[in-house]
Structure 1
Amino acid sequence: MRSRDVILGRVRRALGGPTGEPATYETDIDRGYLREHGARTTEETVELLAENLADYRAIVHRCTDEKLSEVVMRLLAERGAQTVLVPPELPAYWIKAVDATRIYDHAANTPAELDGVDSVVTACAVAIAETGTIVLDGSPDQGRRRVTLVPDHHVCVVRVPDQVVSSVPQALERVDPTRPLTWISGPSATSDIELDRVEGVHGPRTLEVVLCEEDGWLQ
């Protein structure tokens, strides 16, 4: 028996589970953990998402679907964006008011071309309130992973309340694990050994999240 199997068997024994290798992960792995922490209304879940996004230094905006185009236009104008990267199936009305040159996501785009883009606007797959995390899955309204990692400014639209869940387990039920998932908690940042924070190292320096509320969802 390999050392790895011995160690894992001891871990399973300590957790009160079977000591041998699981026959199937669906039946032999305990899934009795909490699916969310505390009971919240939909409104409270959305508020928690906004709070945790801000805690991770994302800039949070809220609007209705009717005002979304105006909000996106304002965010790009305030940034001074002359070019905006657009995923192939981003809803056209989201950026209809934007006064910037559209650059559409194509496989032929080089890293240098993407690096020269001022901003990118995308949708998302799901947003997690408890962790303040946005999940992208490479769908046509989000584009390939690199379009959200190279440009320095990312505007991400989250549909409220349809795309908001409380917890990671709930988010995992919504995504396809075979897709190229990108989990984002705030703008890109890292720290050196002296804990000096540096932003924009391996992703956008500025993340703006627009919580786009469906008309009448609180009624």
Structure 2
Amino acid sequence: MSSRERILGRVRRALADVPPDDTPYEEAVPRAYLREHGGLDTGATVDLLAENLADYRAVVHRCTAGDLAATLAGMLAARGARTVLVPPGLDPAWLAEVRAEQVPDLASSTPHELDRVDSVVTGCAVAVAETGTIVLDGGPDQGRRRITLVPDHHICVVRVPEQVVSSVPQALGRLDPARPLTWISGPSATSDIELDRVEGVHGPRTLEVVLVSGQGSSAVTS
């Protein structure tokens, strides 16, 4: 008897006394969860996102769509970035004023090559105000997951307000669980038993988030 057959046999024995017409598992427990807490308007929701991002030690910038190229160029120049990793679907206009060398996201790139890149600029799938979390799903303007884990500096652009939701349940409603989801709450960090914080352990040491307004609709929640 294989391990698989042994496990399935135990499952069948455990379910032997369950009536055939018993309530299906997905209907057995009511799940009337709150989708958000309170009723913040658009501006307050975006402000809450900015506050919680900063609380996680992300550096938050705000600008209009017309100022985005200059804002990104200034951020990379201030960082002293000589190379910037670019996902294949990133809007070229975003980096129109950047002087650093733009490195494409290639499947053939090794971890050592990615580690030598100074910065990476991406978009996002959604941002959660209540938790200060940015979610990436590997979309064209975000690239492969590894490009946001290996380089030490990540700039993430969030379109305000259409990519901002109040809560995690609202975010889940927008996301495809079959995609490679990366949930980011501040720069990568950990701490030891004495609570000494160390940043850049399993991801970027520095996370900068640009909240760019003037693109898309005015709805905040899904």
Q: Give the TM-score normalised by structure 2.
A: 0.87
Structure 1 residue aligned with 2:24: 23
Structure 1 residue aligned with 2:76: 76
Q: 1:194 Cα shift? A: 1.3
Ranges in structure 1 where 5+ consecutive residues have no aligned partner? 7-19
Q: Deviations over 1:138-181 (max 9, x none)?
A: 01100000000000000000000000000000000001000000
Structure number with larger C-alpha Rg: 2
Structure 1 residue aligned with 2:3: none
Q: 1:30 Cα shift? A: 2.0
> Does the 8 A contact of 1:22 with 1:29 survive in 2?
no
Paired with 2:165 and 2:119, the residues of 1 have a C-alpha distance of 27
Paired with 2:22 and 2:97, the residues of 1 have a C-alpha distance of 57
Q: Deviations over 1:10-46 (max 9, x none)?
A: xxxxxxxxxx986152x33422111111111011100
Structure 2 residue aligned with 1:46: 46
Structure 1 residue aligned with 2:33: 33
Q: Deviations over 1:47-104 (max 9, x none)?
A: 0000000000000000000000000001000000000000001000000100000100
Paired with 2:30 and 2:209, the residues of 1 have a C-alpha distance of 35
Structure 1 residue aligned with 2:202: 202
> Does the 8 A contact of 2:160 with 2:215 survive in 1?
no
Structure 2 residue aligned with 1:95: 95
**AA aligned opposite 2:149:** L
Tell me: CA distance 1:217–1:173, structure 2 relative to 1, closer, same or farther (3 Å): closer
Paired with 2:30 and 2:83, the residues of 1 have a C-alpha distance of 49
**AA aligned opposite 1:122:** T
Paired with 1:148 and 1:216, the residues of 2 have a C-alpha distance of 25
Q: Deviations over 1:160-212 (max 9, x none)?
A: 00000000000000010000000000000000111110000000000000000
Structure 1 residue aligned with 2:150: 150
> Does the 8 A contact of 1:88 with 1:143 survive in 2?
yes
Paired with 2:134 and 2:216, the residues of 1 have a C-alpha distance of 24
User: Aligned pair count?
Assistant: 203
Paired with 1:38 and 1:122, the residues of 2 have a C-alpha distance of 31
Q: Secondary structure at the match of 1:173?
A: helix
Q: Following superposition of structure 1 onto structure 2, how do residues 83-122 of structure 1 map, counting pairs within 5 Å?
A: 83-122=83-122
> Does the 8 A contact of 2:162 with 2:217 survive in 1?
no
| C-alpha RMSD of the superposition | 2.1
Structure 2 residue aligned with 1:192: 192
Paired with 1:34 and 1:134, the residues of 2 have a C-alpha distance of 21
Query: Bigger shift: 27-36 or 151-160?
Result: 27-36
**Does structure 1 residue 129 correspond to structure 2 residue 129?**
yes
Tell me: CA distance 1:22–1:56, structure 2 relative to 1, closer, same or farther (3 Å): farther
Ranges in structure 2 where 5+ consecutive residues have no aligned partner? 1-9, 16-20
Tell me: CA distance 1:21–1:119, structure 2 relative to 1, closer, same or farther (3 Å): farther
Extract structure 1 runs of 4+ deviating beyond 4 A: 215-218
Q: Give the TM-score normalised by structure 1.
A: 0.88
Tell me: CA distance 1:24–1:118, structure 2 relative to 1, closer, same or farther (3 Å): same
Identity, in percent, stands at 67
